[in-house]
Amino acid sequence: MEWLSDNERYAAIEENLKIINADIAEAAVKSGRAADDVKLMAVTKTVESKFINHAIGKGIKLIGENKVQEFLLKEPELDLTGCKAHLIGHLQSNKVKKIVGKVDTIQSVDTVSVAKEIGKRSLEAGITTNILLEVNVGNEESKFGFNPDELEERACEIAEIGGVNVSGLMCVAPICEKEAEIRAIFSNMHRMFIDIGAKKMDNINMSVLSMGMSGDYKQAILEGANLVRVGSAIFGARIYR
């Protein structure tokens, strides 16, 4: 949307949010839940702070950033009153120290070792950090996350770590040609979410199922997502500089 003026872009964000909020409500109700059972996260990578603040002014209560450095640079410019921030991109252990205490939840925990580092830094800071376990639900070479067949075992190991609270699962679904394929992927995530939750392990409370992005958030909600992460459908196509 680089050809749009700032004012046109503010208007587009408002219009997009109306459409997405209506879609979310409809899908939530179709899946037997209330509209407000599903949270909308605005994914803000590459988006300038003024546009993020505009979305927050229009009711966004949750934002997601991929990179530690980018979040820390923008954070002083953001009006985060009433809005929480999550980290959703791959986190290297050497960056953990910088982000612990700065975000409400780290959604992209993909190894036991990064969970340990988050726990260690959280205990040092006297806090507990909420984490989600990222699942490589399509078993894709190119993606981060636990493979579905090791997830439960790794979840048990992570549950032993002090300073972290496992509050759910997250995935970035593979690109699927067919509606039925993506629905099956999300349904599989939902089953793992329910199964692990049913084990009632100490330190694990499966309350957040974070799945669905601009292209597939409706399908994700129909299969049980309660947090969708939407970027380009709100802010327009990303411009990487």
Ligand X SMILES: *Cc1c(COP(=O)(O)O)cnc(C)c1O
If one asks whether residue 88 binds ligand X (CB under 6 A), the answer comes out as yes
- Complete DSSP assignment for 79-121: --TT-EEEE-S---GGGHHHHTTTSSEEEEE-SHHHHHHHHHH
If one asks whether residue 47 binds ligand X (CB under 6 A), the answer comes out as no
Minimum distance from CB of 66 to ligand X (Å)? 5
Minimum distance from CB of 53 to ligand X (Å)? 19
Show the binding pattern over residues 209-238: x = contacts ligand X (CB under 6 A), - = does not.
----xxx-------------xxxxx-----
- Complete DSSP assignment for 30-49: HTTS-GGGSEEEEE-TT--H
Minimum distance from CB of 88 to ligand X (Å)? 4
Q: In this structure, are residues 164 and 128 in contact, taking their beta carbons and an 8 Å threshold? A: yes
Among the listed residues 9, 45, 116, 218, the single contact to ligand X using CB under 6 A: 45
Closest to ligand X by CB, 148 vs 215, is 215
Residues 89-108 contacting ligand X, CB under 6 A: 89
Q: In this structure, are residues 119 and 162 in contact, taking their beta carbons and an 8 Å threshold? A: yes
Minimum distance from CB of 49 to ligand X (Å)? 17
If one asks whether residue 155 binds ligand X (CB under 6 A), the answer comes out as no
Closest CA to 62 of 238, 231, 240, 183: 231
